[in-house]
Chains A and B, each alone.
Chain A
């Protein structure tokens, strides 16, 4: 047990059970980002997968909407300590986007409009664990929350779910992204509380 702070009792919300360590429940949808919100018109949006050999697979907004979509309902956990349960999204599984991509890569670096990046092992994007989503709670995704489309990788801290995503580069070597280069954990598993480097 940690050092007791005299007189601290806490709120003990009943629903706090089932949350990763150090998280608290919110019903709002807070925003975390490092700069201004990019405004990307849908007809200018593109999503590109680039392999380690430089081969590009590209979808326009229209082409992206024509792909088979799923409606994941997932819990999300932000490194700033809020968690939100049962969020409803609509988007395309990375399994679909990567189905025809030939690669030997083990790592991925997601890129966003506005310059944000985040890195993940490629395995964490596959097997029904990750999506590019364009709708939230039955509506088009607001720019503040990453619209036109964002990555959704709910089993990792939410900074891995890159807002305003524009593509994924597949890499044979791990390359730290934006927060990962600024002191945050390389992998970011909320259940192991991997918030910062060294956790």
Chain B
């Protein structure tokens, strides 16, 4: 059983939840958990959420308008409240320190969560592998982990791609990820792509068309 220990507001519709879980076995960056909620009459609902930190049981949850579980997690659950967590789950969409291979992360919206766990795992382990993050969001107020991503980290290159509205004076016009956002000379990377299905499909297709090895592109989708 897990208890909510701390929350942070990420955006208007999303928040980060940190849980206390006795006997948590640890996990790899990129893995997820199943959250199971039970009502007082025994009705249950469960959903999967990516862990957004490598060293803590932290979830970043986006409220889905007609969702059943996410609005409870973003707006209702209070500090100390219990939930059932199952995990960690998933042994494929994971990054481990020490591979020596450069990494390209591509996030769409709340798809940043498992990629943030990878960025943090890199920093915590002192791994110097070059990381590039391309993070597609609608507007500047939709950026998760905004303060942390603004802080410079050696070897971590963060590029925000705004699709609807940009900060003042931003050079790139608002729009979806295109081939022009990829570095043509830099295809020797392990790629991790996470976001809504349409975004992931488009991004993975772009990477393949751009010369990335399909076997080195790992994807995780939701929605």
**Residue on A nearest B2 in the bound complex, by CB:** A3
Do residues B43 and A3 form an inter-chain contact, with CB atoms below 8 A?
no
Do residues A34 and B218 form an inter-chain contact, with CB atoms below 8 A?
yes
Q: Which of B81, B91, B218 contacts A6 (CB 8 A)?
A: B81
Do residues A33 and B44 form an inter-chain contact, with CB atoms below 8 A?
no
Q: Which residues of B contact A36 (CB under 8 A)?
A: 204-205, 207-208, 214, 217, 219
The reply to whether the CB of B84 lies closer than 8 angstroms to some CB of chain A is: yes
Do residues A9 and B39 form an inter-chain contact, with CB atoms below 8 A?
yes
Do residues A10 and B68 form an inter-chain contact, with CB atoms below 8 A?
yes
In the bound assembly, the distance between CA atoms of A1 and B82 in angstroms comes to: 14
Q: Which of A3, A10, A35, A38 contacts B84 (CB 8 A)?
A: A3
Query: Which parts of B199-213 form the interface with A (CB within 8 Å)?
Result: 201, 204-205, 207-208
Residue interface bits A153-191, CB-to-B below 8 A is 1, else 0: 000000000000000000000000011011100000000
The reply to whether the CB of A128 lies closer than 8 angstroms to some CB of chain B is: no
**Residue on A nearest B36 in the bound complex, by CB:** A2
Q: Which residues of A contact B76 (CB under 8 A)?
A: 7-8
Closest 7 CB pairs of A and B: A182-B91, A36-B204, A2-B38, A11-B68, A8-B37, A31-B197, A5-B37
**Residue on B nearest A33 in the bound complex, by CB:** B219
In the bound assembly, the distance between CA atoms of A2 and B38 in angstroms comes to: 6
Residue tally, chain B, CB below 8 Å to A:
42
Do residues B91 and A35 form an inter-chain contact, with CB atoms below 8 A?
no
Interface of B is mostly: mixed
Q: Give the interface of A toward B (CB within 8 A).
A: 1-12, 22, 24, 30-38, 80-81, 114-115, 144, 178-179, 181-183, 195-196
Q: Which of B38, B44, B90, B215 contacts A115 (CB 8 A)?
A: B215
Q: Which residues of A contact B93 (CB under 8 A)?
A: 34
Q: Which of A5, A8, A9, A34 contacts B219 (CB 8 A)?
A: A34
Looking at the assembled complex, report how far the CB atom of A129 sits from the nearest CB atom of chain B, in whole angstroms. Answer: 27
Looking at the assembled complex, report how far the CB atom of A37 sits from the nearest CB atom of chain B, in whole angstroms. Answer: 6
**Residue on B nearest A38 in the bound complex, by CB:** B214
In the bound assembly, the distance between CA atoms of A10 and B35 in angstroms comes to: 13
The reply to whether the CB of B101 lies closer than 8 angstroms to some CB of chain A is: no
In the bound assembly, the distance between CA atoms of A43 and B36 in angstroms comes to: 46
The reply to whether the CB of B24 lies closer than 8 angstroms to some CB of chain A is: no
Q: Which residues of A contact B197 (CB under 8 A)?
A: 30-31, 144
The reply to whether the CB of B92 lies closer than 8 angstroms to some CB of chain A is: yes
Looking at the assembled complex, report how far the CB atom of A12 sits from the nearest CB atom of chain B, in whole angstroms. Answer: 6
Q: Which of A3, A7, A33, A195 contacts B221 (CB 8 A)?
A: A33
Q: Which residues of B contact A35 (CB under 8 A)?
A: 204, 214-215, 217-219
Do residues A31 and B45 form an inter-chain contact, with CB atoms below 8 A?
no
The reply to whether the CB of B124 lies closer than 8 angstroms to some CB of chain A is: no
